[in-house]
C-alpha cells in the first residue's frame, strides 16, 4: 500500500485522512479522491466519475477504458468529513420552515423554497459561519420574495476534506440562534391572502381625460402574491373627497388601504394630507428607495395604509414591492424598517 496522504501520516489507524492507492478491482465501495476525466477525441472530454464517487463493480471496465489500473481513494479520519457530508450537515442544521435542500454536488448543497413567501435569513448567523473558514454559506438577502423551487441559500465545503469540528462549530452557532429566537436561521415565511380597498386619486383620471393605469398595475402586484384588490374607487384631487373615501374603505373592513397618485409636490397633490387628516398614524412619508421615494406608509386604526406614488404603476420594482410582502407576511412596520431600505435601495 502506498500512502500519499495530503497530510503527513505513517500509521495505519485512520487518525488522519489519507489518500491510498488501490488496484481498480479492489476499489469497489471506496470513494474516489478526485474527478476522473475521460477524453475521446472529437467526441467527449469531461468528468467520467466525480470525486467522492463510490466505485461499483460496473465501473471497473470503464475505468480500465480510460487507462486506470490504480486509483486514489480516501481513507477518512474520524475527525474529518468529506466535502459532500460537510455541506449536507450544514444544510440540515440551517433549514427551517418551508425550505428544502437537495443532493450534494461537488461539495455544495442548495437550499430552496417550497412556497411563495418571504425569506427569513439571519445575517449574523451567515457572517459567523463564514468566519469559521473551510466552509461557506451564501444566501440571498433577507425579506425577499421567493417562489417554489427558487434557491435562497447554498452551503459549500471549500477543501475536499473538512475537519468535522468546523461543521460542529457551525451547528453550534445555529443551535444557539434557534434557542434564542425559536426559529431556524434560514426559512421562508408564508404570505397571507389579503383584501385591499383601493382609492385612485387624480382629477384627470376621475373625469375620464386619461385611462387609469394604476388599477391594473396594483392589481397585478397583489395577485402575484396571492392577494386581491377587493374594491377600487376613484376621487378627484380634492382633499375632503379623498378623506371621505378613505373613511368609506376603512368602514368596509379591508385588510389594507391603498391610495394612489397625488403623492409629490404639486399643489394638486392632496393624498399625503388626506391620509393624515383621515387620522392615520404616519410611520413614514418619504422612503429612502428609488423608485418609490414618495411612498407613504402608516396605520389607520391598525389597518396598513399606503400612499402610492406614480412610479408604482410604471416600475416593476419599487418600495411598494418591498413593503407589500412584509405586510402580507404579517410584519408590523416601524420607522426603522423604512430607514433600513436606503442602504442598497437604489434600483435605477
Ligand X SMILES: Nc1nc2c(c(=O)[nH]1)N[C@H]1C(S)=C(S)[C@@H](COP(=O)(O)OP(=O)(O)OC[C@H]3O[C@@H](n4cnc5c(N)ncnc54)[C@H](O)[C@@H]3O)O[C@H]1N2
Classify residue 218 as exposed, middle or buried by CB count within 10 Å of its CB (0-12, 13-18, 19+).
buried
Nearer to ligand MOO, 137 or 308 (CB): 308
Query: Taking CB within 5 to 8 Å according to partner kind, which of ligand MOO, ligand X, none is near residue 321?
Result: none
Q: How far is the CB of 147 from ligand X (least distance, A)?
A: 27
Q: Which residues contact 27 (CB under 8 A, 6 or more apart)?
A: 55, 71, 73
Residue 285 Cβ vs ligand MOO, minimum distance, rounded to whole Å: 11
Q: What is the DSSP letter of 183?
A: S
Q: Which does 205 bind (CB under 5 to 8 A by kind): ligand MOO, ligand X, none?
A: ligand X
CB nearer ligand MOO, residue 75 or residue 212: 212
Q: How many degrees, rounded to 5, is the angle at CA 60 between CA 107 and CA 69? A: 90
Least distance from C-beta 220 to ligand X, angstroms? 14
Which residues of this protein are in contact with ligand X, per CB under 6 A?
A: 200, 202, 204-205, 210, 212-214, 260-266, 269, 293-294, 309-311
Q: Which residue, 22 or 290, is less far from ligand MOO as judged by CB?
A: 290
Rounded CA gap, 195 and 167, in Å? Answer: 45
Q: Which position has the grid cell 379591508?
A: 254
Least CB distance to ligand MOO at residue 300 (A): 21
In sequence order, the 6+-apart residues with CB closer than 8 A to the CB of 231 are 197, 198, 249, 252, 254
Of residues 261 through 320, those in contact with ligand MOO by CB under 6 A are 290-294, 309, 311
From the list ligand MOO, ligand X, none, partner contacted by residue 16 (C-beta under 5 to 8 A by kind): none
- Beta carbons of 9 and 3 less than 8 angstroms apart: yes
Q: State which residue, 78 or 204, has the beta carbon closest to ligand X.
A: 204
> Quick check: 217 binds ligand MOO (CB under 6 A)?
no
Nearer to ligand MOO, 200 or 293 (CB): 293
Interface size with ligand MOO, residues (CB under 6 A): 7
Q: What torsion, rounded to 10 degrees, do the Cα atoms 22, 25, 31, 34 define?
A: 70
The burial of 257, by beta-carbon neighbours within 10 Å (0-12 exposed, 13-18 middle, 19 or more buried), is given as: buried
Residue 72 or 214 having the CB closest to ligand X: 214
d(CA 133, CA 255): 47
Binding site for ligand MOO (CB under 6 A): 290-294, 309, 311
Amino acid at each position: 500500500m502506498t500512502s500519499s496522504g495530503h497530510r503527513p501520516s505513517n500509521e495505519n489507524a485512520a487518525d488522519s485522512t489519507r489518500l491510498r492507492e488501490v488496484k481498480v478491482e479492489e476499489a469497489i465501495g471506496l470513494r474516489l479522491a478526485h474527478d476522473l476525466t475521460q477524453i475521446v477525441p472529437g467526441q467527449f472530454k469531461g468528468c467520467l466519475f466525480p470525486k467522492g464517487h463510490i466505485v461499483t463493480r460496473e465501473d471497473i471496465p470503464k475505468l480500465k477504458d480510460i487507462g486506470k489500473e490504480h486509483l486514489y481513494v480516501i481513507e477518512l479520519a474520524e475527525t474529518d468529513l468529506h466535502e459532500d457530508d460537510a455541506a449536507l450537515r450544514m444544510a440540515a442544521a440551517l433549514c427551517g420552515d418551508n425550505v428544502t435542500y437537495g443532493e450534494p454536488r461537488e461539495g455544495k448543497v442548495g437550499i430552496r423554497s417550497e412556497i411563495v413567501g418571504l425569506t427569513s435569513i439571519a445575517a449574523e448567523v451567515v457572517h459567523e459561519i463564514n468566519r469559521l473558514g473551510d466552509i461557506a454559506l451564501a444566501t440571498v438577502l433577507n425579506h425577499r420574495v421567493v417562489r417554489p423551487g427558487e434557491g435562497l441559500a447554498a452551503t459549500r465545503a471549500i477543501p475536499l476534506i473538512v475537519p468535522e469540528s468546523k461543521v460542529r462549530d457551525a451547528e453550534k452557532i445555529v443551535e444557539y440562534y434557534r434557542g434564542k429566537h425559536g426559529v431556524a436561521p434560514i426559512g421562508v415565511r408564508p404570505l397571507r391572502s389579503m383584501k385591499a380597498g383601493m382609492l385612485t386619486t387624480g382629477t384627470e383620471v376621475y373625469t375620464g381625460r386619461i385611462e387609469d393605469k394604476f388599477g391594473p398595475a396594483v392589481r397585478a402586484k397583489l395577485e402575484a402574491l396571492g392577494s386581491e384588490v377587493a374594491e377600487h374607487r376613484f376621487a378627484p384631487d380634492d382633499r375632503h373627497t379623498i378623506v371621505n373615501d378613505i373613511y368609506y374603505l376603512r368602514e368596509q373592513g379591508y385588510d389594507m388601504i391603498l391610495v394612489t397618485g397625488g403623492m409629490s409636490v404639486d399643489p394638486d397633490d392632496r393624498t399625503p394630507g388626506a391620509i393624515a387628516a383621515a387620522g392615520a398614524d404616519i410611520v413614514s412619508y418619504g422612503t429612502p428607495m428609488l423608485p418609490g421615494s414618495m411612498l407613504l406608509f402608516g396605520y389607520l386604526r391598525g389597518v396598513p395604509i399606503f400612499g402610492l406614488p406614480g412610479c408604482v404603476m410604471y416600475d416593476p420594482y419599487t418600495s411598494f414591492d418591498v413593503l407589500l410582502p412584509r405586510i402580507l407576511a404579517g410584519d408590523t412596520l416601524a420607522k426603522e424598517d423604512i430607514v433600513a431600505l436606503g442602504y442598497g435601495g437604489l434600483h435605477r
